[in-house]
Amino acid sequence: MRLGYFDQKLGGLDDDRSLVDEIRSVRGDLSPDAVRSYLARFRFFGDDVFRVVRGLSGGERNRLSLAKMMLRPANLLALDEPTNHLDIPAREVLERALRAYEGTLLVVSHDRFFLDEVCTRLVVLEGGGRVMLETGNYSDWRHRRAAAKTTAPPPPQAAQVKTKASAAARDAQKARDSARAKLERRLAQLEEKIAAVERDLDGVRARLAQGHGGDWVKLHALVEEERKLADKLRSLMGEWEKVGEELAAG
């Protein structure tokens, strides 16, 4: 077994090296052009490759660490919070790379969208020291858990006790049903908005990919539009996740 490890503290980077030197510390056989081409896959373009590690942002350091790790031959990748500090385009690059990876992934992450994209099994740690292996991604497990809660039989002692439902209990149930219906409507609205923003974002990125023909004003406007749409999408997804959790807890 050959292990590749991604440390969320990014301890494997040398602050005094350039990005090119960091990559060539792993693959010294690569030409400068090959290194530039490889770094472009991790969204380092142009003169970015000559920057010094010390001056990189958290997200940039994260991307560089992932680029180094994926150059080393490994059939097991252990990833500790790999999406920390990454924006949405960088996460998509990482997700595509990991989906194409033929080895085994062991991932620890709080990013549920990322888990849905790359995981096929979950190790679920529950109270009392219980550990369960679940097939599917995070959403699959969450849906099964919610379904189990709604269909679980009552405890034997509860089943044996027959009481009349009081008016207060009926009112409480009515209030819970109303609140749940409101959450379901909000979830549907958020999904529609997310789909619309994703379409707009895809359109902007397609225009960016076509080149700017020397029109730097146009390029700046497109980049700014992409940033705003990405921020909006991130906000909507955060709310969508929160509403989903409230429904699942329901």
pLDDT per residue rounded down to tens, the chain (250 residues): 888 887 777 777 888 889 999 998 888 888 888 988 888 888 888 888 889 988 888 888 888 888 888 888 888 989 888 888 777 887 888 888 888 888 899 999 888 888 888 998 999 887 788 888 888 888 888 888 888 777 666 665 655 555 555 777 777 777 877 888 888 888 888 888 888 888 888 888 888 777 667 777 887 888 888 888 888 888 888 888 888 778 777 6
Residue 106 is predicted with a pLDDT of 92
Q: Are the C-beta atoms of residues 137 and 105 closer than 8 Å to each other?
A: no
Give the Cα separation of 59 and 86 in Å (integer).
5
CB-CB contact of 82 with 6 (8 Å): yes
- For residue 20, the tally of other CB atoms under 10 A from its CB is 18
Q: Among 3.30.930.10, 3.40.50.300, 3.90.1150.10, 3.30.750.24, name the CATH number for the domain at 3-119.
A: 3.40.50.300
Q: In angstroms, rounded to a whole number, what is the distance separating the alpha carbons of residues 100 and 96?
A: 6
Give the gyration radius of the chain's Cα atoms: 24
Whether the Cβ atoms of residue 229 and residue 194 lie closer than 8 Å to each other:
no
User: Quick one: pLDDT at residue 212?
Assistant: 64
Q: So what's the pLDDT on residue 165?
A: 56
Q: What angle is formed at CA 76 by the lines to CA 54 and CA 30, rounded to 5 degrees?
A: 50
Structure token pair of residue 237: 């997804």
Compute how many other C-beta atoms are within 10 angstroms of the C-beta atom of residue 94. Answer: 22
Within 8 A by CB and 6+ apart from 243, the residues are 183, 186, 187, 190
The pLDDT value given to residue 182? 85
CA distance 99 to 85: 20
Give this prediction's pTM.
0.50
Cα four-point dihedral sign 150, 153, 156, 161: positive
Task: Name beta bridge partners: 177.
Answer: none
Residue 92's closest CA among 186, 249, 238, 230? Answer: 230
